[in-house]
C-alpha cells in the first residue's frame, strides 16, 4: 500500500512509527505535534511507555483519544536501566504492527522535532533508490545548536533518535539487538550495510534533538569512560580510537574528555573484555574505519579538510564520536 502526493509524483511507501519512551513528559509534545503536522501521516504510531512515572502517559493519552492511529502501550516499571530495555520496549510496539500493510518502519525518539515535510522527503528518497535500506535527516543538537560534521567521514551513519528503515532491510537484519551497553543504532547501521543495503543521512533535511546528548543515563567522567568502553564492545578498531581520542581532546571538556575515552577503550582492550558485536560485523567495521581514516588523512594532506574541522569547532557529535 503506497501513498501519492499528486499526479506528477511517484507513489510513496506507507510507513509506521514506533516510539519507545521513558519519562519524556518534558519533550514528547513537540514530537507528537511534529508527527501530526506531517504532509503524509503514518498508518499507525505506537508510543511505548517504558514504565514512565512523570505524566508522559497522560500527554500521549490526550492525543491518542483524538487520533485513532496513535496508540499508547504501557510497559510495567522496571528497576534496571540499560539500553536493552529500550529495544524490548520497541519490540513490544513492533508486535502491535502485525498485519498492517506498511513498507517503511520508523524508530523515533520522544525528544525530537522536525518540519512538516520531513517524512515525505525521506519516503521520496526511498522510493527513488531501491538500494537504500536505512535513512534519516541531519541530527541537530538543540542545546548546542550544532550537528554532525559529515565532511570528515561521510553520511552513511544514521543517528539513533530517528532511524527510517525499509521494511525488507529491517527484517533482513533481524531488527535491533538488545545490547545492555548501548550502541544499538550503530549495530543496526553496520548490519544493514554488511547485508548489502545502503544507509544515508540526508544532510539537507535537519531534525532537532531536544534532550542534551548523552544526558539520559550517564554524565561527566562516567559517560566518557563508558563511551570508550562501548566503542571496544562494539568492535571499533584501536587505531580509530587513538585518532578519535586525540580529536575529542580538542572539544570540551578539553583534553580530559579524549583521555577518558582512550582509557575506557584500552582498559577493556587489555582486560580482554568480551565484545558484544559478532565477529563478522567487527571485521566489517574495521575495514570500514580504516578506509575512512585513509580518506580523511588523504583529504587533510591535500588541504580539503580544514584543520578547524578536525579540532571539532562547530562540529559537536561528529562521526568520530559515534562511528
Vertex 266: Cα angle to 260 and 270 (nearest 5): 145
**Both 126 and 242 in a single domain?**
no
**Both 66 and 204 in a single domain?**
yes
Secondary structure, 3-state, 61-126: HHHHHHCCCEEEEEECCCCCCCHHHHHHHHHHHHHHHCCCCCCEEEEECCCEECCCCHHHHHHHHH
Residue 104 φ then ψ, to 5°: -135, 140
Last residue of a domain, one of 189, 209, 229: 209
pLDDT at 101 over 60: yes
| Section 223-247 average pLDDT | 94
Place of cell 581514516: 293
**Both 90 and 161 in a single domain?**
yes
pLDDT, averaged across the chain: 88
Measure the CA–CA gap between 271 and 240, rounded to whole angstroms.
19
Query: Quick one: pLDDT at residue 309?
Result: 42
Last residue of a domain, one of 209, 241, 275: 209
**Both 190 and 279 in a single domain?**
no
Tens-place pLDDT, residues 144-194: 888 876 766 579 999 999 999 999 999 999 999 998 888 999 999 999 999
314 vs 186, higher pLDDT: 186
The answer to whether position 250 is within a domain reads yes
Tens-place pLDDT, residues 251-262: 888 899 999 999
The answer to whether position 215 is within a domain reads no
User: Which residues are paired to 75 by β-bridges?
Assistant: 50
Strands (E), 114-260: 132-141, 146-147, 162-166, 198-209
**Both 84 and 132 in a single domain?**
yes
User: How many structural domains compose the chain?
Assistant: 2
**Both 18 and 107 in a single domain?**
yes
Structural domain including 69 reads 2-209
Helices (H), strands (E): how many in the chain?
A: 13, 11
Amino acid at each position: 500500500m503506497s501513498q501519492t502526493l499528486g499526479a506528477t509524483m511517484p507513489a510513496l511507501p506507507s510507513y509506521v512509527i514506533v516510539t519507545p519512551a521513558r519519562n519524556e513528559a518534558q519533550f514528547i509534545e513537540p514530537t507528537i505535534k511534529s508527527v501530526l503536522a506531517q504532509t503524509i501521516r503514518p498508518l499507525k504510531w505506537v508510543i511505548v511507555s517504558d514504565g514512565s512515572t512523570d505524566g508522559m502517559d497522560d500527554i500521549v493519552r490526550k492525543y491518542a483519544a483524538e487520533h485513532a492511529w496513535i496508540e499508547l502501550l504501557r510497559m510495567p516499571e522496571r528497576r534496571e536501566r540499560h539500553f536493552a530495555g529500550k529495544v524490548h520496549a520497541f519490540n513490544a510496539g513492533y508486535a502491535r504492527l502485525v498485519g498492517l500493510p506498511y513498507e517503511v518502519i520508523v524508530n523515533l525518539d520522544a525528544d525530537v522535532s522536525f518540519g512538516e515535510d520531513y517524512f515525505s522527503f525521506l519516503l521520496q528518497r526511498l522510493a527513488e533508490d531501491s538500494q537504500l535500506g536505512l535513512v534519516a535527516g541531519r541530527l541537530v543538537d538543540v542545546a548546542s545548536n550544532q550537528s554532525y560534521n559529515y565532511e570528515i567521514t561521510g553520511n552513511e551513519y544514521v543517528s539513533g533518535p530517528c532511524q527510517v528503515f525499509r521494511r525488507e532491510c529491517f527484517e533482513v537484519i533481524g531488527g535491533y539487538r538488545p545490547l545492555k551497553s548501548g550502541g544499538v543504532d550503530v549495530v543496526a547501521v553496520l548490519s544493514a550495510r554488511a547485508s548489502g543495503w545502503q544507509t544515508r543521512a540526508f544532510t539537507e533535511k535537519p531534525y532537532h534533538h531536544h534532550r542534551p546528548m548523552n544526558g539520559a543515563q550517564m554524565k561527566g567522567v562516567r559517560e566518557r569512560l563508558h563511551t570508550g568502553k562501548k566503542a571496544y564492545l562494539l568492535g571499533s578498531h584501536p587505531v580509530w580510537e587513538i585518532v578519535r581520542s586525540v580529536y575529542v581532546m580538542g572539544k570540551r571538556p578539553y583534553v580530559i574528555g579524549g583521555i577518558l575515552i582512550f582509557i575506557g577503550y584500552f582498559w577493556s582492550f587489555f582486560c580482554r573484555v568480551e565484545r558484544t558485536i559478532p565477529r563478522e560485523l567487527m571485521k566489517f567495521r574495521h575495514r570500514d574505519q580504516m578506509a575512512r581514516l585513509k580518506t580523511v588523512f588523504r583529504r587533510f594532506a591535500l588541504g580539503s579538510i580544514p584543520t578547524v574541522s578536525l579540532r571539532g569547532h562547530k562540529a559537536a557529535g561528529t562521526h568520530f564520536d559515534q562511528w
